[in-house]
Amino acid sequence: MPSALSSAGKAPAEHLGRPLSEFITPGPPPLRVDQTVGEALDAIRITGLAERIFYFYVVDAEGRLSGVVPARKLLTEPLGRLISEVMMKRVLSLPEHATLMEACECFILHKFLAIPVVDENKRLRGIIDVGLFTDEVMELSTGTNNDQLFQSIGIHVQEVLHASPWKAFRIRFPWLAATVSGGVLCAVLAGAFASTLQQRVVLAVFMALVLGLGEAVAAQSLALTVQSLPHSRVRWKWLRAKLHREGVTALLLGLLAGVAVAVMVGYCWHDSMAAISIGGSIVLSILVSGLLGVLVPVLLRIVQWDPKIAAGPITLAAADLFTVTCYLVAARIFLG
């Protein structure tokens, strides 16, 4: 198998951007969910195996990936047991349109020795072996050597990511421009509500605090989402659960922060309407900011942009815009 990351030199970033479909290998013969262990072993003997086999992948009648059985587990199970009883149903896979960089990150993060590749209908297309990313001859039987292997891959990836300053500028500036644009639009909004801010000094005093709270929650939600974002296609069930969890968490954070700030405004400024306006806008802006931290990286993944680079500036700019709009509109409604 050709190595994508040679131990003798550095791989160009363009190489790691190539589609995974160019490097898929057939892998071991897939097992069927309705087979017994004995039938599966007989089929394997007839088909034959490649040199290194770490996992056997299980498919249903339509060829869709259903589970995985480690080779050692398959050899030690009773021959009469069904594969569906032996397999692990939760199996990590990569879509065939993924890039080598995404596969490399997946290997480093999860430390698997092989990962199945599926099409858009989750039909098994083949596998990607960890040997694709290293030419080093290493014994893979011990955990220590496994760690050395993945550390070696990680070092090569870091070398690729350390691009020249000019190249890094060209990659990152377009997303920084999103932050600049968001700040300009926030300034325009503040100018449109200048009379309201002048009439109530307390609004100007707490505006920076409200913006900071929204950005903080958005950044937290974004970091958690990017870490847990599926490498394969984002499914509605996962997104719905993630939105519910982050929404409830953000609502609780917003209620606590909103009530605390409202009490402070009411006590120090003796302005109950301003307290209601500021506290209510904090609750709503924190809730929306938390949801944006989930939705933005998901949308970027769908359009195949890198969430790790683009999601931060876009999420914070969107959170700022909504926070300022909510804050000023609430002030206009409650304070006139």
What confidence tens digit (pLDDT) does each residue in 232-279 have?
A: 677 888 899 999 999 999 999 999 999 999 999 999 888 899 999 999
φ, ψ (nearest 5 deg) of residue 328: -75, -35
* φ, ψ dihedrals at 334, nearest 5°: -85, -30
Q: What is the pLDDT of residues 123-134, one digit of tens each?
A: 999 888 877 765
Instruction: Single out the residue of 286, 285, 264 nearest to residue 275, CA to CA.
Output: 264
Is the Cβ–Cβ distance between 133 and 107 less than 8 Å?
yes
14 backbone dihedrals φ, ψ, rounded to 5°? -65, -35
What is the CATH superfamily name and number for domain 13-161? CBS-domain (3.10.580.10)
Q: Does residue 150 have a pLDDT over 50? A: no
Residues β-bridged to residue 216 = none
**144 band by pLDDT with thresholds 50, 70 and 90:** very low
Instruction: Supply the pTM of this predicted model.
Output: 0.54
Tens digits of residue pLDDT in 43-97: 888 877 765 677 889 999 888 999 999 888 888 889 999 998 989 888 888 888 8
Q: Which CA distances in Å does 259 have to 54, 223, 252, 254, 268? A: 55, 26, 11, 8, 14
Q: pLDDT tens digit string along 203-239? A: 888 999 999 999 999 999 988 888 787 766 778 888 9
Domain boundaries, the chain: 13-161, 165-335
CATH classification (class only), 165-335: mainly alpha
d(CA 156, CA 209): 42
In the sheet that holds 124-129, the strands lie side by side as 94-95, 114-118, 124-129
Between the CA of residue 58 and those of 21, 82, 205, what are the distances in Å?
20, 11, 61
pLDDT-based confidence at 167, cuts 50/70/90? low
- For the cut 90, the answer to whether the pLDDT of residue 196 exceeds it is no
Provide the mean pLDDT of the chain. Answer: 80
